[in-house]
């Protein structure tokens, strides 16, 4: 047998061994397989896992990359790994800081405390001070965009720019399917008590769901199920105290990129243009075929648009538009 044939036989044996090992892990160790997939994804994106303490909470987060700090905030029911896919494309340009907000993911979830926007803004600020960040660019999806927006209004000198993806909540937008369901008294489609409801949740929030390996999907479903009551509590608390975002951000002149999925069933895509109209230094993008979590559904395209936006900021284009508007 020649050397090439020996090498090919060896390579085939290695591949078969890996497939057998992966299959065995999938069947007999689904939770461990899911954890390994999450760890592998973070490593691929160049993200390191850390945690720090702030008063009353332990905050888990991932960070990676280099450059100006970019703080990324997940939506309700989500966690820091909602940003893992897109981090692969952003890490070469920015220092990424991606926390689990209090009440979510691996961060503390103490009972009997408030999880409203005002409280979360102050906790986020304590976290950033704890890790030495005094000024950053901020991005947020859904609830995360709402928290980032209120942070920017309360502490404008600490926010270099905003990146809002499917953000809650624009009162004058067309009513969304999700809120119409709630008005009819139907089950909240954003949360799941069973694996079947988790599958329905993914179909509801995404126009183009990415492939999720079955062990990872089952692990994510179990997390959703375990946090179902807390997620509903936080949702109801936020909804009861919601201020229309178009009022909060009216006249806001910090450069802002607004991104929406045209198939967003949680907050209607008409929200994007409404926010753009009241924010002089903004631009907006509505993505065809995309749902409520653009950074998960189209990570490369969303990252590309954001990098272009940051180049606009560096060139002073958005700031000059804001000055003209004033």
Q: What residues act catalytically?
A: 74, 142
CA 239 to chain centroid, in Å, comes to 19
Region of 212 (left: φ > 0; alpha: ψ -120 to 50; beta: rest) is beta
Q: What is the DSSP letter of 260?
A: E
Q: How many CA atoms lie within 13 A of 143 on its CB side?
A: 27
Q: H helices within the chain, ranges in order?
A: 3-28, 30-44, 84-90, 117-130, 143-154, 177-183, 195-205, 214-226, 228-240, 245-248, 270-278, 294-297, 299-315, 317-325
Residue 27, class by beta-carbon neighbours within 10 Å (0-12 exposed, 13-18 middle, 19+ buried)? exposed
CA 281 to chain centroid, in Å, comes to 23
Q: SS3 of 136, please? A: strand
Task: Give, for 54, the enclosing helix (H) or strand (E).
Answer: strand 48-54
DSSP sequence for 264-302: -SSS-THHHHHHHHH-TTEEEEEETT--S-HHHHSHHHH
Angstrom distance (rounded) from CA 105 to CA 79:
5
Q: Name residues whose C-beta falls within 8 Å of residue 322's C-beta, 6 or more positions apart in sequence.
A: 253, 255, 280, 281
Angstrom distance (rounded) from CA 272 to CA 275:
5
CB distance 117 to 241 below 8 Å:
yes
């Amino acid at each position: 047998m020649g050397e090439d044939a020996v090498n090919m036989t060896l390579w085939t044996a290695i591949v078969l061994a890996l497939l057998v090992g992966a299959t065995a892990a999938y069947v007999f160790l689904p939770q461990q397989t899911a954890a390994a997939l999450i760890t592998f994804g973070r490593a691929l994106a160049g993200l390191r896992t850390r945690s720090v303490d702030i008063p009353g909470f332990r905050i888990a987060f991932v960070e990676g990359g280099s450059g100006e700090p970019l703080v990324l905030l997940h939506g309700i029911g989500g966690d820091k790994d909602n940003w893992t896919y897109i981090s692969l494309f952003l890490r070469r340009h920015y220092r990424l800081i991606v926390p689990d907000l209090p009440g979510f993911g691996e961060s503390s979830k103490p009972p009997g405390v408030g999880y409203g926007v005002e409280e979360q803004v102050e906790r986020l600020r304590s976290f950033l001070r704890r890790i030495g960040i005094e000024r950053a660019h901020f991005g947020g999806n859904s609830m995360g965009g709402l928290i980032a927006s209120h942070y920017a209004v309360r502490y404008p000198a600490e926010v270099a720019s905003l990146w809002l993806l499917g953000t809650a909540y624009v009162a004058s937008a067309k009513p969304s399917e999700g809120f119409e369901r709630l008005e009819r008294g139907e089950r909240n489609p954003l949360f799941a008590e069973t694996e079947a409801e988790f599958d329905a949740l993914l179909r509801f929030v995404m126009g183009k769901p990415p492939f999720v390996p079955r062990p990872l999907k089952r692990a994510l479903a179990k997390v959703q199920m375990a946090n179902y009551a807390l997620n509903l509590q936080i949702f109801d608390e936020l909804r009861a105290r919601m201020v229309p975002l178009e009022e909060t951000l009216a006249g806001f002149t910090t450069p802002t990129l607004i991104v929406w999925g045209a198939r967003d069933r949680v907050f209607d895509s008409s929200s994007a243009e409404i926010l753009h109209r009241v924010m002089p230094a903004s631009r907006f993008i509505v993505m065809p075929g995309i749902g409520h979590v653009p950074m998960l559904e189209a990570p490369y395209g969303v990252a590309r648009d954001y990098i272009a936006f940051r180049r606009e900021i560096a060139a002073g284009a958005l700031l000059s538009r804001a000055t003209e508007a004033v």
